């Protein structure tokens, strides 16, 4: 880092503004909260007094020239990037800006199928064509693994006209692909490298963690500061490597970015970046230690499998992010969804997600040792009352690779009809369907529905999984192509 990371220009400008007691004849209309006392009661006076719009001393996110520009330079420096964009519409907007920056109508992009829904939605918006690298699934825990560089190379050679390769670093399940090799292969062929680091902010600051996108030489990477970075929900950062023109990326961002960016979100990004630059190394060492400790304790209980670096095989799992506490639960006779519900309903513990086979407890810079003990204790308790070997569930994996028959955009805009999900096998889906979280589509527009996929959806529904995507709010029906 070359810059003085202890400054936080947006935060400092907001503090100066607050002391000035400017009379507001601009939006927002709540006027420092005075017009909405109930909101002040909920959020506090300080918070509402800082909920202001762009103005001279506070800069403008659409065309930053002063404090936001400085904050972006500091963020780029902290992450080792050429340029950083502060984002206020989630990592969804960072992912979409990455794809729209490199892929136009009918251009191909190489990617794994286990991407977040924002990726598929970006392809609907820009008309890009996904070319999937076949995923391997771990037999024991049923999750999709990373991208084997050999498989990526084959797809690259078969599709030399692809404009970019998209990589998850890591996946929601902590799995990392060999990003350095994939980046080298892509650049040799003139393809850009886009990295989804929604779950990887800490890779830039901690030690002994998998390589980050920028370090690996990626062209663009989407970093969810609000996940492991500690900023407010919905704030995110988009990083540019050497291969991109940041002014063009800014134009793409401005296609859909609000003209009323929240200073609560912007200042939270500024302060979090400073915090991570100054203290990230120590904080993430603590996070790794807590996750390692929890993993050992949970594996001691028996029945559960809290997985870690032993999954590394040099190809499909190049590295594993140890801060992710994932536990395979089916050997105790319960699905991940059931353990998720039990933790919430019986133990007042909210975890990140439960799917058919796994749970994810998100461990971060805000956790305390006593909370880890509570989680371990609750899991022990749940195990004692479970019935191991209970066979009320199907032997399905949490990742089923569907077959794409039409592009996402073509299918999204095609003529459709509704059929009951139980009868949808053999039809082409016209919409997305996923469990949220993790938000990885089970089906995207243009994919063939199979018996296995129908079984998975019905089973996930029966177990209480939150299914989203279809037009039908009850998720009884699926829109399929006519
Ligand atoms: C892999 C991945 N990418 C992108 C996103 C989108 O992030 P956000 O919810 O901040 O829009 C998520 C959200 O969970 C995600 O898991």
pLDDT higher than threshold 80 for residue 396: no
Asked if the domains at 278-385 and 408-481 fall in one CATH topology, the answer is no
CA of 222 to the centre of ligand 1 (A): 9
- Report the pLDDT value the prediction gives residue 14, as an integer from 0 to 100: 97
Region 26-39: mean pLDDT is 97
Cα–Cα distance, 213 to 166 (Å, whole number): 11
Q: What is the mean pLDDT of residues 10-27?
A: 95
What residues flank ligand 1, with Cβ below 6 Å?
Answer: 90-92, 95, 116, 118, 168, 172, 196, 198, 224, 236, 439
DSSP code at position 332? G
Q: What is the dihedral of CA 273, 274, 275, 276, to 10 degrees?
A: 50
Mean pLDDT score, 403-417: 97
234: helix, strand or coil: coil
Average pLDDT over residues 86-110: 98
Judge whether residue 37 has pLDDT over 90: yes
Q: What angle, 0 to 180 degrees and rounded to 10, lies between the N-to-C axes of helices 263-301 and 9-20? A: 130
Atom index in ligand 1 nearest the CA of residue 168 equals: 1
Average pLDDT for 298-304: 97
- pLDDT reported for residue 390: 61
* CA 120 to ligand 1 center in whole angstroms: 12
Write out the CATH class of domain 59-276. alpha beta
Q: Which residue has the tokens 């005075």?
A: 34
Question: What are the sequence ranges of the domains in the chain?
Answer: 59-276, 278-385, 408-481
pTM: 0.96
* 278-385 fold: 3.90.1150
312-359 pLDDT, tens digit per residue, is 999 999 999 999 999 999 999 999 999 999 999 999 999 999 998 999
pLDDT at residue 393 tops 60: no
Cα–Cα dist 243/214, whole Å: 11
d(CA 328, CA 188): 39
Pick from 60, 148, 73, 165: which is nearest to 110 by CA?
165
Residue 395 has pLDDT above 70, yes or no: no
Strand (E) positions, 347-431? 353-354, 358-362, 416-420
The answer on pLDDT for 389 being more than 90 is: no
CATH of 408-481, one of 3.30.310.50, 3.40.50.700, 3.40.50.300, 3.90.105.10: 3.90.105.10
pLDDT of residue 471: 95
Query: In ligand 1, which atom is closest to the CA atom of 227?
Result: 10
Tens-digit pLDDT profile for residues 216-270: 999 999 999 999 999 999 999 999 999 899 999 999 999 999 999 999 999 999 9
Residue 417: is its pLDDT beyond 70?
yes
407-440 in b/e form (b: 16+ CB < 10 A) is bbbebbebebebbebeebeebbbbbbbbbebbbb
| Ligand 1 midpoint to CA 198 (Å) | 5
DSSP state of 449: P
Q: Tell me the mean pLDDT in the region 128-152.
A: 94
| 3-class secondary structure, 173 | coil
Beta strands 129-133 and 467-468, pairing class: unpaired
Please state, in angstroms and rounded to a whole number, the distance separating the CA atoms of residues 453 and 229: 35
Taking Cα atoms as reference points, which of 206, 192, 187, 238 lies closest to residue 323?
206
CA nearest 237: which of 214, 211, 210, 206?
214
Question: What span, in angstroms and rounded, lies between the C-alpha atoms of 286 and 79?
Answer: 20
In angstroms, the CA 350 to CA 106 distance is 42
Residue to mutate (ligand 1; options 87, 88, 93, 95; most atoms within 8 A of CB): 95
Structure tokens belonging to residue 72: 């972006």
Q: Ligand 1, from 96, 116, 170: best to mutate by most atoms within 8 Å of Cβ?
A: 116
The answer to whether residues 87 and 253 touch, using CB atoms and an 8 Å cutoff, is yes
Q: Would you say residue 462 has pLDDT above 70?
A: yes
On whether the CB atoms of residues 301 and 356 are closer than 8 A, the answer is no
Looking at every residue in the chain, the average pLDDT score rounds to 95
Query: pLDDT at position 57, please?
Result: 95
Mean pLDDT of 143-166: 97
Query: Which is more confident, 437 or 421?
Result: 421
Which of 52, 57, 9, 81 is closest to 237 using CA atoms? 81
pLDDT at 464: 86
């Amino acid at each position: 880092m070359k810059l003085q990371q202890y400054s936080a220009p947006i935060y400092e400008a907001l503090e100066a503004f607050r002391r000035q007691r400017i009379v507001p004849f601009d939006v927002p209309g709540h006027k420092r909260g005075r017009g909405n006392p109930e909101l002040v009661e909920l959020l506090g006076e300080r918070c509402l007094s800082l909920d202001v719009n762009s103005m001279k001393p506070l800069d403008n996110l659409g065309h930053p020239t002063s404090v936001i520009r400085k904050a972006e330079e500091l963020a780029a420096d902290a992450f080792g990037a050429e340029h950083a964009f502060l984002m206020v519409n989630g990592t969804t907007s960072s992912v979409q800006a990455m794809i729209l920056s490199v892929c136009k109508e009918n251009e191909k992009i190489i990617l794994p199928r286990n991407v977040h829904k924002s990726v598929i939605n970006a392809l609907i918006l820009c008309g890009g064509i996904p070319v999937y690298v076949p995923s391997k699934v771990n037999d024991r825990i049923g999750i999709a693994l990373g991208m084997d560089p050999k498989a990526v190379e084959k797809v690259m050679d078969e599709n030399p006209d692809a404009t970019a390769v998209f990589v998850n670093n890591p996946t929601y399940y902590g799995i990392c692909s060999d990003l350095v090799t994939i980046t080298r292969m892509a650049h040799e062929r003139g393809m850009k490298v886009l990295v989804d680091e929604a779950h990887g902010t800490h890779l830039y600051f901690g030690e002994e963690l998998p390589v980050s996108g920028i370090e690996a030489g990626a062209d663009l990477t989407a970093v969810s500061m609000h996940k492991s970075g500690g900023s407010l929900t919905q704030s995110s950062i988009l990083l540019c490597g050497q291969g991109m023109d940041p002014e063009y990326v800014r134009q793409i961002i401005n296609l859909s970015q609000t003209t009323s960016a929240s200073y609560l979100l912007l200042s939270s990004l500024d302060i979090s970046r400073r915090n991570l630059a100054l203290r990230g190394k120590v904080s993430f060492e603590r996070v790794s230690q807590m996750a390692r400790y929890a993993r050992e304790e949970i594996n001691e209980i028996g029945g559960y499998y809290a997985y870690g670096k032993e999954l590394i095989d040099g190809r499909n799992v190049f590295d594993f992010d140890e801060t992710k506490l994932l536990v395979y639960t089916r050997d105790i006779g319960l699905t991940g969804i059931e353990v998720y519900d039990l933790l919430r309903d019986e133990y007042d513990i909210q975890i990140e997600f439960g799917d058919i086979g796994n749970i994810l407890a998100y461990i971060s810079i805000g956790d305390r040792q006593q909370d880890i003990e509570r989680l371990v204790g609750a899991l022990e308790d749940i195990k004692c009352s479970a019935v191991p070997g209970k066979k009320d569930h199907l032997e399905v994996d949490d990742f089923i690779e569907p077959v794409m028959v039409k592009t996402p955009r073509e299918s999204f805009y095609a003529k459709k009809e509704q059929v009951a999900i139980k009868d949808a096998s053999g039809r082409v889906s016209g919409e997305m369907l996923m469990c949220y979280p993790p938000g990885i589509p089970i089906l995207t527009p243009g994919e063939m529905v199979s018996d296995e996929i129908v079984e998975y959806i019905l089973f996930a529904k029966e177990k209480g999984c939150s299914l989203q995507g279809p037009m039908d709010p009850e998720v009884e029906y699926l829109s399929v192509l006519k």
